[in-house]
Structure 1
């Protein structure tokens, strides 16, 4: 069964990645939300929502069959009835907005020349590169920047003890995010988060209407039939790989884990990317999930929007797809496009 999962924020939201609201975090003074939730957070939210919908089965064996024994693991590709999760994307009514690639910069033209050097026309080094998004069905030819979707919501405060006394080094500033809204109509959010979910059996969220994702962030969840967005992209990718398309590029539609970047570089003529995305995940034993949370080592992922100009398109795509555990929950997804 394939579904489109829509997450509509009920208010501002905060996705911390590796940075969360702890006493230690407040001592760092400033914490800012990422624009997108981690795919591991989406997996955890789904597992909890499915268990909640089914009434929190008492038998551990039944829970394991339903949502798997653990959350994300480098070796695990089975999560009960959850078969795959797509990368999270942006929704505007019926339009799906995906990364256009870092070589799409509005008035700036970035192209790889015959000598394998990057030509930048109209580039301002002081401004750097921006993340642009494009409608997946080309219903809109215009590009949108992150600032067209999101709004910053800074909040300043200080931590106090039980007696109301301000604690040392307790002042902090948190920068929440929210979607832009229709202020002149009904002040509803113009956008929402979405992702595709494939399950091995039919599910519904008739009891569950609200889910929690990130720090102090709640969302209305909706489950509808999927139009096969990433299925269509994958089908096109396979056709282009079969033709051994030589004049094509690869755009990452999600953050991507590559165990050895040196190998990727050897397969590529050029890689245009942003700063790496830090990534950790919880390591928990099922028996002590609520009492002990351990963290994995830190990994660094290539950011969504990264553009790879491959020497051999098959070698590069096989390397991206090799990390099955990541790909199963929505990382390591890409789109092959003409240069």
Structure 2
């Protein structure tokens, strides 16, 4: 039986969500100015949940040796970490589906503002409601692709390069919420010591973390399949302190049973019709489609890219926590380029095929990627 839950993550202080650029994992790192992402990776959320289920059932082991409880652990959280390349359906035990992470500010859910939002005309007041760019038959340009093929695409006639693209969030009523009303930067400059405790100029670093404003928290939905090993009573009233992100930032986690999903709040944000020049897709989460699929089915996009690479736990090469070898049980996957949440894709004739490609990888969808309206 599947059960819907609202999971709340309230930061205990500043946090750092890494992508490609982060300190740690026992390796040298070439980046000296690094900045946190605003949202955790869905793979990090999945890993945190798998660990917390073991904590709830008192099965967690600091030595990572689960040989005596392997069968029970596998039934609770599955056998392996997420694998983006796996074709067959992945199993994470009682975790049926993890949904995208959103922000809740007081009692309102927020999504990243669509990148086709027209902030303002030059010299005019800022739009306080989500106002999409407009297209018309007379405004188009010719685009050349890598294969030297050219095609004409329609472009927004009211886009002003001087103004740039919007940032921030919107609620279900399309009200714009500024980025600074949700996040606060926490900057730190330091110097890393060498093994001999000596310093040098090239060991300087600057790190930018974030804090959420007092009335904000991260939230996401979770579908759980209770069974003989994991029952509803295990989550009733449960809360704890968990670590998450590239620097193991701390959050208070709690679970609340609900009847609706957060994404239901945003169904009316996108207004795309067959009569429009383009039909559009607004990404609610980071999304992966191949470059070939994007070029084939998407006529125009207002997008940002974000790198994706997750850690896989390899128990078969387990090493004890000595001499810096502890982290060798973690392996990095290959690097991929995702489309960032809030990106907007436009398609004239291949709209349904574009949707099909986004929905095609069920494993990615089941952990909270590739969600759109």
Shorter-normalised TM range = 0.7 to 0.9
Deviations 1:2-53 (A, max 9, x none): 101110000000011122223633x532111111111100001101111111
Alignment partner, residue 186 of structure 1: none
Alignment partner, residue 220 of structure 1: 252
Deviations 1:289-321 (A, max 9, x none): 554222111100011111112223321111100
TM-aligned CA deviation for residue 230 of structure 1? 4.9
2:183 counterpart of 1:158: no
Q: TM-score, normalised by structure 2?
A: 0.77
2:316 counterpart of 1:287: yes
The whole-number CA distance in structure 2 between the counterparts of 1:232 and 1:159 is 46
5 Å-filtered alignment, 1:1-339, equals 1-22=3-24, 24-25=28-29, 27-56=30-59, 58-74=68-84, 75=86, 76-107=89-120, 110-114=133-137, 116-121=153-158, 123-125=160-162, 128-136=164-172, 138=173, 141-161=174-194, 164-166=197-199, 169-180=202-213, 189-201=214-226, 202=232, 203-204=234-235, 208-214=239-245, 215-230=247-262, 232=264, 245=274, 247=276, 248-259=279-290, 261-274=291-304, 276-288=305-317, 291-310=328-347, 311-335=349-373
Q: Which runs of no fewer than 5 residues in structure 1 stay unpaired?
A: 181-188
Q: Given that residues 169 and 178 in structure 2 are in contact (C-alpha distance below 8 angstroms), is that contact kept between their aligned partners in structure 1?
A: yes
TM-aligned CA deviation for residue 282 of structure 1? 1.8
The whole-number CA distance in structure 2 between the counterparts of 1:231 and 1:148 is 21
Partner of 1:300, secondary structure, is strand
Q: Given that residues 269 and 309 in structure 1 are in contact (C-alpha distance below 8 angstroms), is that contact kept between their aligned partners in structure 2?
A: yes
TM-aligned CA deviation for residue 128 of structure 1? 2.6
Partner of 1:55, secondary structure, is coil
Summarize the Cα distance change of 1:158–1:206 in structure 2 as closer, same or farther, 3 Å threshold: farther
Partner of 2:345, secondary structure, is strand
Deviations 1:126-178 (A, max 9, x none): x5312342213x2xx42123233111111011122576543663221111111
The whole-number CA distance in structure 2 between the counterparts of 1:79 and 1:245 is 39
The whole-number CA distance in structure 1 between the counterparts of 2:275 and 2:317 is 51
Q: Which one has a larger percent strand, Structure 1 or Structure 2?
A: 1
TM-aligned CA deviation for residue 209 of structure 1? 1.0
Aligned pairs, how many? 316
Q: Given that residues 130 and 145 in structure 1 are in contact (C-alpha distance below 8 angstroms), is that contact kept between their aligned partners in structure 2?
A: no
Q: Which runs of no fewer than 5 residues in structure 2 stay unpaired?
A: 61-67, 122-131, 139-152, 227-231, 319-325
Highest CA radius of gyration, 1 or 2?
Answer: 2
Deviations 1:88-110 (A, max 9, x none): 11111221101231111332562
Summarize the Cα distance change of 1:326–1:163 in structure 2 as closer, same or farther, 3 Å threshold: same
Deviates more, 1:314-323 or 1:244-253: 244-253
CA RMSD of aligned residues (A): 2.7
Partner of 2:16, secondary structure, is coil
